Structure 1
Amino acid sequence: MDIRVQAAPFDFGAECGRFGQGDGRAGAVVTFLGLVRGADGMSRMEIEHYPGMTEKALAKIAEDARARWSLSDLLIIHRYGPLAPGDAIMMVATAARHRKAAFEAAEFLMDYLKSRAPFWKKEFGPDGAEWVQAKDDDEAALDRW
């Protein structure tokens, strides 16, 4: 299990290559890359977090996912700091014996990261800066778990 909260960009292809080189127990690997959307004229986004608290919260949800779906491996990378449209903001990878478990665990982690992970996002656009609020759809997605 690998959880990273970092300001630096990451290489999605390289991360996928490293993650896929497991111990042979997994029959499925699922990866997801989240990008910063440039919708509505947004010029940049800034993400804040509390070091220590964020990693602890991500480790707990990762352990929950690992136990619930019997994952053989798991990776979460989430960036903070200033980001531009098109930048990679986060990555999730899961490995399990079967594809259903790998897909469900990845979706669970993504839903958590979108709605409950302790990150605060501010978008900058033509009308100034605005904190991103939780959306009802994101909360509803988490309810299914």
Structure 2
Amino acid sequence: MSRDVRLLTTPFDPATEIAAFGAAHRGFGGLCSFIGAVRLDGDVEALELLHYEAMTLPGMEALADEALARFGVAGLLIIHRAGIMHPGDPIVLVAAAGRHRREAIEAVDFAMDHLKSDSWFWKRELRGVHWTWIEPRAQDHSDLSRWG
């Protein structure tokens, strides 16, 4: 099993990362990825993700270990940005490689549900001159509860 977990404060190129992950996991039947980006949402000018460094990366690593064990995938990649980003900028990339599609899809879905609702990031968005904190939606909590 391979695990690659990164917390970045600089931009990354999802296509390059997915290509490298795929090349490292040739021969697996299922390769799944998800890219989350800052939405082009009306007057949102920026999104800022803050985190507590001593908890964030270890928490992401523990999440990756849990996904690897739970779904039996051969490889998992989690890249997450922190800092200020603008509409269209990639925030998160999760990719999984498994013998079959279902385990790869579920590993990615599991990791994203946890990153979205049960993670170590605080989000706020800039609209005009005002920053507003963003809380997980009820749907985010519902998605998370599927995993028990």
Short-chain TM bin: over 0.9
Task: Tell me the CA shift for residue 26 of structure 1.
Answer: 2.1
Counterpart residue number, 1:139: 141
Residue aligned with 1:40, SS = coil
In the superposition, the TM-score normalised over structure 2's length comes to 0.93
Structure 1's unaligned 5+ residue stretches are none
Task: Tell me the CA shift for residue 128 of structure 1.
Answer: 1.2
Distance 2:129 2:57 in 1: 33
The residue correspondences of 1:1-145 to structure 2 (distance < 5 A) are 1-24=3-26, 26-126=28-128, 128-145=130-147
Distance 1:59 1:94 in 2: 14
Task: Tell me the CA shift for residue 64 of structure 1.
Answer: 0.8
Residue aligned with 2:72, SS = coil
Cα contact 2:78–2:94 (8 A) shared by 1: yes
Distance 2:82 2:75 in 1: 24
Distance 2:116 2:43 in 1: 21
Distance 1:65 1:32 in 2: 15
Identity percentage of aligned residues: 39
Distance 1:45 1:105 in 2: 26
Task: Tell me the CA shift for residue 52 of structure 1.
Answer: 2.8
Distance 1:127 1:135 in 2: 24
Cα contact 2:33–2:108 (8 A) shared by 1: yes
Residue aligned with 1:10, SS = coil
Cα contact 1:65–1:105 (8 A) shared by 2: yes
Q: Which deviations, in whole Å up to 9, do the C-alpha atoms of 1:60-95 show, x marking residues without a partner?
A: 111111001111000000001110011001100001
When the two structures are aligned, how many residues end up with a matched partner?
145
Cα contact 2:75–2:97 (8 A) shared by 1: yes
Distance 1:65 1:100 in 2: 13
